[in-house]
Each structure stands twice: as C-alpha cells, then as structure tokens.
Chain A
C-alpha cells in the first residue's frame, strides 16, 4: 500500500467552480500534514499546513481526520491560476528529524 494515496485526476473544472481533493495516508504515526502545489517542471510550493481542527486560507480549506487517516483540500471559486498539481504531504519523524512523504499528486485544470 502506498504511504500517501491521491486520485491522480485530472480534475477539469470551469472557472468559479468548487473542487475537492482527497488524500489518505497509511502511517498512523505521521505527525504533520501539508498541501503543496506544483506547477509543471517546477518545485513544490507550500500551499498550507493542515491542522486537526481544520483551517482556511482565503479560498482554500483543509481538513484532517486522524482517525480515518484522511486529508482533504477544498478550493472555492477556482481561478485559471489554480491549474497545477496538488501534492498531499505527510511527515515522519522516526529519528527526530522530519522528512516529507509525498503523494503522487492530483492534477487540476481550470478552464475559462
């Protein structure tokens, strides 16, 4: 089983739509959770951290369910510039040092 699983998509949505991505992780000892976005052939860029209580940053809302080992990202009022691959990331801290474990990403295409 993959450590972090995501639907690869692509999700094709019109501008203004609301879209949701889901992610599951297998290691119950995972400690921190993030969403990164990656544009084609570019570096991953931190979009937001994900907290147990859920958190919002403008049009983006992230949720974490530790019991189900499930993370979600909701994007409201999609913009053309939101077109990218969204990476679900969890951290392991086996040795006291954090390493990021990435999902394969979900591709989003926002069309006019």
Chain B
C-alpha cells in the first residue's frame, strides 16, 4: 500500500537555526499539506499546496515558514529561524483530489533547544 514518508523522524536544533523537514507524498496525489501537533494538543493545519503554489495557510504559517516542491517527488517545509515554541510533531499529508481523504506521514518530531 502506498504511503507518505517523512525524514528525519526526529530533528533536534538550536533556537535561531534553520530546519528543513522533508516529505515524499503518495505518488499519484496532487494536493499536499503540512500539519503540526504540539505535545498534548490537537493537530493543527499549517498550509496546503497545489500546482506548485500555496493554496491556503493558517495564521501559524508566518514569514518564518515556507514550503517547496523542489522536484517531482519531494515536498519540504522550511522554518527559517526556529523558536522554542516551534517544538512539535510535524505531519505531512497528501490527497489525490482536494475533496478526498488525506493520508498522513509518520511525522518529524522537531525539538528546539
């Protein structure tokens, strides 16, 4: 069964450093998403991406965040200057069309020290 993959599984970084989280969506999916989950809290939408453009972003997704699809398979989330409050689990998801179910990757645990 095809699945979304994410790397790394755990990233530790110092405050102020840049991090790039990587995702490989399911191959015939066209819509891509990033969500995050702070420990003990609910899953929150960050951004959706389609046709090489951001289609929607939340208020969390400020200028420190960016997304890119650098090639035909990878989808990345960059945090330019990490803050302590960016520590969370970051999940990538993809869907075949916008109204279909989204499938999640295993997540990257980001720890900012």
- Which residues of A line the B interface, CB within 8 A? 31-32, 34, 38, 41-46, 49, 87, 91, 93-105
Q: A32-B99, A87-B43 are in contact. Are A99 and B48 (CB under 8 A)?
A: yes
Contact B101 A46 (CB under 8 A): yes
Contact A97 B48 (CB under 8 A): yes
| Residue of A34, A41, A93 with most partner-chain B CB within 10 A | A41
- Complex CA distance for A94 and B98, rounded to whole angstroms: 12
Q: Could you say which of B62-70, B72-80, B104-112 contacts chain A?
A: B104-112
DSSP majority for the B interface?
strand
Report the minimal beta-carbon distance from B99 to chain A, rounded to whole angstroms.
Answer: 6
| Minimum CB distance partner of A46 in chain B | B101
- Complex CA distance for A95 and B55, rounded to whole angstroms: 7
- Complex CA distance for A6 and B48, rounded to whole angstroms: 25
Task: Please tell me which one of the listed residues B35, B55, B109 contacts residue A100 in the complex, with CB atoms under 8 A apart.
Answer: B35
Contact A98 B99 (CB under 8 A): yes
Whether a CB of chain A sits under 8 angstroms from the CB of B44 is yes
The interface on chain B, measured as residues whose beta carbon lies within 8 A of the other chain's beta carbons, has a size of 27
Which B residues are CB-close (under 8 A) to A91? 99
Contact A100 B41 (CB under 8 A): no
Task: Please tell me which one of the listed residues A42, A97, A105 contacts residue B42 in the complex, with CB atoms under 8 A apart.
Answer: A105
Contact A102 B43 (CB under 8 A): yes
Whether a CB of chain A sits under 8 angstroms from the CB of B89 is yes
Report the minimal beta-carbon distance from A103 to chain B, rounded to whole angstroms.
Answer: 7
Which A residues are CB-close (under 8 A) to B41? 104
Q: A34-B101, A44-B43 are in contact. Are A95 and B107 (CB under 8 A)?
A: no
Whether a CB of chain A sits under 8 angstroms from the CB of B102 is yes
Which A residues are CB-close (under 8 A) to B95? 98
Which A residues are CB-close (under 8 A) to B42? 87, 102-105
| Sample of 16 A–B contacts (CB below 8 Å) | A31-B99, A41-B89, A43-B91, A43-B104, A95-B55, A96-B55, A96-B98, A97-B31, A97-B56, A98-B31, A98-B98, A99-B56, A99-B58, A100-B43, A102-B42, A102-B44
